[in-house]
Structure 1
């Protein structure tokens, strides 16, 4: 796929359009020199289909759009990109641990795959590989788990009976009686989104959500279906009721657990707040958006997708301990799927090796801090494995992920970080704080990471990053007509937790009973 030259225009309040120059835009969102993806599997290094066609005007149209449509693009050249990327190598011997349990890195990746799910059929993709018409509105609806449902993708589910609604089929680890894996055919995972088999940690997270659905189905039908009768809405069948409860509890985790962990408290409480009802009763949740707006259909802001939400790359540790006996690097420079490499790394797209069942207490706060691994701090540094991605994850070539992220931001015309801060009414970081060669504008992704590092000690995102992520997350929930926020803003989780109405990833894992082996 080659780059095209498109005319970039911006509309002024007076209605006139000014020429902002000719900008080379790679329709894949990654430069030719970075290598084009050759695998049909969409992974975290693969460009989201259609991102090359971002509206250049102030109109909020299309799948992707701009949150700050009045700001000029900042387009660093390749030398500048290389120089900035050179500042992002993890220093040796530095104390880089943050405060967030390491599992939230991969929960964030799981969420990203959910809101960028592409349900177009393989035939449609072959006929129109770059079209936007078949994308759905971004929603927290677990399509990456449910796929197109049991009627359209029955191979994802066990055959239902009169007593049991459709449950997900669950695989077994070869040679083990008690270890579970994703269901597979010739080693390929049979799941709603193949990206969720990209590494061992996210594949076990995908499995956990499948088991969560199965457990909710069982919970609804136990004791003569009393829970089903209590919690169904309208004419919901058991499967539909289970799916809604799974989605709503997941949405609660996204907003009240994950988002609360990663953004600064002041921004969180400004964007999501509770409002008492005028006639008494429980308070309802409300969303306050200052910068994210849309007309008609919501879109995915590129300031979020290409910059702010890519803070997750900074969280990745170079190495993880799955259980008492298995500790491996997340990637190696060798092939992640080559023969004989199965025991060297946590790369995916393969059956889970025997003895590699995850212990979630090492990734989420289930058993206290003794064995808990933490994320890396949110800062400008990336773990070494991300600076040389294996070919299967980077389009057949070895790629520095820092350079790829910066190049995408340039090709999509993101504004500079300082300009976004000023547009928000926030004092921007100074040249000395940004520590860029030659000073000048900062790529937005780099700015978000550096801001978190300096303003909040790398423990949460800073004010600019927090505002973008919080508004997009809460905006997507607000715009979704099937979400709990749209249907029942006073709703609270109904599944067991430490306190009624509270539900976190630790509660979800405990409810499934999966991955609770003693650490």
Structure 2
């Protein structure tokens, strides 16, 4: 779920995907490779054959990834926790809200029209549209002028727009009242336009259109609620700025509104970056790697002049991150969620709750209003914890309605898509990637026997693959090719299981993720300058105003503090259902 879900993927059949032509080894716009494009001898191979050079071999690749995904259906026998109330598969280090913050970040880094697994190769609608990473484009789109549908009008007599649209929740058993709080993303019916009306005649109008900048932010109920959380905070920041900015005069209304919007956006971006750096990454990255990258001047081993490229809107994301290491978030998804005091929902129900899949039951009702202390540790709360990171996904991610089959394997689910997409991307093989990292940062590789000792690595993979033959019907040839040349997203999960018992990423996964996330943060001059959040907010405010209109914003370095601030400024402390 961290990566992009296929919209209406059932319309794509294998016969419609032309994979007969040779696929270029060059990357598609918006993507690149770590350390430059790998030579053919450095790329991932299946049965010794490079998928990029042999499209006729794709059927064998699909079969192999199908069988590997079946092997990964086997539940992992995790060690028990000292706290007996926890399930063995739960990760008390990472509350489940971070699973969806990772998905939100993925949307802020990658936006392609068609997933690589469905497209069948690079360049077929797989261009990455993101060119300025981690600037909240997934929330703000192109701003009030470029994306007016996601912004609310400030006044009835003019076209100023500074706040993000929100929608009222509904009550399941009664009509929504005017006092019903704005706690859902904005949704609307498609009226007086062509297309199928999905309303229930005489009962309910279908709200098929989610008014958000990135449609993936309505992939499911938790994702849309997280988007609404960020929108509520933006709107609250606008109010804070408005109260301190003074009277701009009748001729300065539009200019004042534009400055107010930009200041609020800059403030929320600074808060977002502070949380990524000091909260999220600290939780998911191996501690030794985090210590190497979290400081003000990390020594990147994949230097491609990130700051310059981002400044001119030409930033590119490595495929080894987008289609490899960052897929780890899918393994963190729980089988069910306690949404609030009123309701427990299983994953299938959660995934299906969107304007695309269930428009006649929108907006979200009270059973879907997220109580954020269930997703982050707030005032001593015990939240839903994420799953440990390893080569196994919750059954709900095999939902055949959300992730239907699209090729001759008839394999449904997200896991197969992750594996196949990685196989088609022309990425560095695990061995070559380890060697390249070792050449630039040998101290990293020396910390891990799994990375440093190839014979040990191959044997560990072989033993794990052999232990679950009954699930995937893996042949001896399958096991040997996967042990010697594992697809990157699988290896990142396997490494986390072996090195950290699934509590964080392993060393290689941590290096790839840190290079991209901390690299993206370093490309933003405001974030790269370091200093406290208060210092950064002061810089943001003084870019637009003579005084620091953001001086009352407290230090926010984690998601719990973000939720608490939002609760206060949106006046939701007494909300029903509970917000906090």
Greater shift, 405-414 or 172-181, is seen at 172-181
Cα distance, 1:323 vs structure 2: 0.7
Q: Deviations over 1:266-321 (max 9, x none)?
A: 11121231xxxxxxxxxxx2232113535844311000000100000000011111
Aligned to 1:389: 399
Asked if the contact 1:292/1:471 (under 8 Å) is kept, the reply is no
1:360 aligns with 2:372: yes
Q: Separation in 2 of the partners of 1:333 and 1:398?
A: 22
Structure 1 residues 322 and 334, CA gap change in structure 2 (3 angstroms): closer
Distance apart, 1:165 and its partner CA? 6.5
Equivalent in the alignment of 1:315? 332
**Residue 489 in structure 1 maps to residue 459 in structure 2:** no
Structure 1 residues 332 and 359: CA distance shift in structure 2, 3 A: closer
User: Shift of residue 183 of structure 1?
Assistant: 1.1
Question: Using the alignment, how far apart are the partners of 2:485 and 2:7 within structure 1?
Answer: 27
Q: CA offset at residue 505 of structure 1?
A: 1.3
Is contact 1:198-1:348 (8 Å) kept? no
The separation in 1 between residues aligned to 2:351 and 2:218, in whole angstroms, is 18
2:385 aligns to what? 374
**Distance change (3 Å), C-alpha of 1:157 and 1:307:** same
Change (3 A) 1:498 1:424: farther
Distance (whole Å) between structure 1 residues aligned to residue 300 and residue 283 of structure 2: 20
Q: Which of 199, 216, 223 in structure 2 is aligned with 1:202?
A: 223
Question: Is 1:401 matched up with 2:414?
Answer: yes
Q: 2:460: which partner in 1? A: 433
TM-score, normalised via structure 2 length? 0.67
2:29 counterpart residue number: 62
C-alpha displacement of 1:489 = 3.1
Q: Alpha carbons of 1:206 and 1:398: their partners in 2 closer, same or farther (altered >3 Å)?
A: farther
Q: Output the CA distance in 2 between the equivalents of 1:61 and 1:506.
A: 38
Task: Say whether 1:107 aligns with 2:88.
Answer: no
Shift of 1:37: 2.2
The match for 2:188 is: 185
Secondary structure at the aligned position of 1:222 is classed as helix
1:304 aligns with 2:306: no
Of 244, 255, 263, the residue aligned with 2:277 is 255
Query: Structure 1 510/300 Cα, relative in aligned 2: closer, same or farther at 3 Å?
Result: same
Residue by residue over 1:74-122, the C-alpha shift from the partner in whole angstroms, topping out at 9 and shown as x without a partner, is 1323343233212212528861111201000001001111122469xxx
Contact 1:334 1:390 in 2 (8 A): no
Partner in structure 2 of residue 506 of structure 1: 560
Residue in structure 1 matched with residue 151 of structure 2 by the alignment: 157
- Per the alignment, residue 290 of structure 2 pairs with 268
Is 1:291 matched up with 2:267?
no
- Contact kept? 1:318, 1:329, Cα under 8 Å: yes
The equivalent of 2:428 in structure 1 is: 415
Please report how far the alpha carbon of residue 56 of structure 1 lies from its aligned counterpart in structure 2 after TM superposition.
Answer: 2.8
Secondary structure in 2 aligned to 1:237?
helix
Partners of 1:259 and 1:75 lie apart in 2 by 31
Q: CA deviation at 1:153?
A: 2.7
Q: What is the alpha-carbon distance in structure 2 between the residues aligned to residue 432 and residue 369 of structure 1?
A: 42
CA contact (8 A) 1:114 1:142 kept: yes
Q: Is the 8 A contact 1:320 1:328 kept in 2?
A: yes
Contact 2:403 2:414 in 1 (8 A): no
SS in 1 for 2:164: coil
Q: Distance in 1 between matches of 2:336 and 2:360?
A: 15
Larger Rg: 2
Residue 37 (structure 1) aligns with: 9
CA contact (8 A) 2:335 2:396 kept: yes
* Residues 23-46 of structure 1: CA deviation (Å, up to 9, x unaligned): xxxxxx99xxx9982579xxxxxx
Distance 1:149 1:102, change over 3 A: same
> Which one of 44, 63, 80 corresponds to residue 74 of structure 1?
44
Q: Deviation per CA, 1:339-359, whole angstroms, max 9, x where unpaired?
A: 9x96xxxx9994212332110
- Offset of 1:497 from its aligned partner? 12
| Cα pair distance change 1:109/1:334, threshold 3 Å | closer
Q: Where do 1:323-334 residues align within 5 Å?
A: 323-331=340-348
Q: 1:141 aligns with which of 118, 135, 142?
A: 135
What is the root-mean-square deviation in Å for CA atoms of aligned residues? 3.9
TM-score scaled to structure 1, two decimals? 0.74
Q: Deviations over 1:150-191 (max 9, x none)?
A: 1233332222259x9721222102334434211111212111
Q: Any gaps of 5 or more consecutive residues in structure 1?
A: 1-28, 41-51, 120-128, 227-233, 274-284
